[in-house]
Amino acid sequence: MRLHALASGSRGNAFAIEAADGTLLLDAGLSAREWTRRADRVGLDLDQLVGIALTHEHGDHAAGAILLARRHGVPLVATDGTIRALGDKADGLPTVPLRGTSVTELGPFSVSCCRVLHDAADPAALVVEADGRRVGLAYDFGRPTVGLRYLLRNCDALVVEANYDEVMLRTSGYPPSVQHRIAGSGGHLSNSGAARLLADLLHADLDVVVLAHLSQQCNAPDVARSTVEPYLRERGFRGTLAVAVQDEPITPLAVRRSDRGGRSQVELELL
């Protein structure tokens, strides 16, 4: 399995999982043309596309989804609320509903979800399983719920929001009302919040962590990494830590098969 981070930030989010028998897009917040250009750049074969999974309907996550789905003849995979929020533009497209109480099968992929706290119609975090590996993706939320922590347990790879640095947010030019929204429970997760969540989810088989959805005004890749990496390394993380950026794809990340030998801190607390 390979995990692709083609773009992430307030101007567009685009990830993909490439398995042996298919490819699944996770959000399509770039234009269809730019999505295709970046996929070509990293050698991602869109002829193997089986679907486009969306976390929610906001433009930085769904701008290119409908055109890409029509062009490649694949379904949109999303919660009922997200599909409704896309409106008439999605009429005639095949859709595959995501519901928190069930697992959705699509080609070689099994997709599960849970709702997150964000100001969208029906936003969700996603976990995708294929080839014996499990990848979790969660961003656009201000507070990780018990349900989110449970969904993301025992993943081989995690894509987690590290949106802002607290000091950079408070000293930014944003008015207090915007700062409050960003830092609120329905807003975004800070670098330190991401570090704490990842530490809770850390287990022996966690292979890849990607920090995502960085604010261009209130964060920077080196700031996010310098906050999260020492926190994880001190707690025993030995895998790959990458930072997804807005303007170019990062090198595709191989996700190795684990033997499920480790338990997350979330599971230990539930025992």
Domain ranges of the chain: 2-259
The residue type found at 185 is S
pLDDT of residue 258: 57
SS3 content of the chain, % helix, strand, coil (to 5): 30, 25, 40
pLDDT of residue 259: 56
Nearest in space to 123 (alpha carbons), one of 98, 106, 104: 98
Q: Return the structure tokens found at 144.
A: 């990780």
Q: Where are the alpha helices (DSSP H) in the chain?
A: 32-41, 59-62, 65-72, 80-85, 146-151, 166-170, 176-183, 191-201, 221-233, 265-270
* 0.85 exceeded by pTM: yes
Burial 93-125 (b: 16+ CB within 10 A, else e): bebbebeeeeebebbbbebbbbbbbbebbbbbb
pLDDT digits (tens, 9 = 90+) for 140-189: 999 999 999 999 999 999 999 999 999 999 999 999 999 999 999 889 99
pLDDT digits (tens, 9 = 90+) for 205-250: 999 999 999 999 999 999 999 999 999 999 999 999 999 999 999 9
Q: Return the structure tokens found at 202.
A: 């850390």
Architecture of the domain delimited by 2-259: 4-Layer Sandwich (3.60)
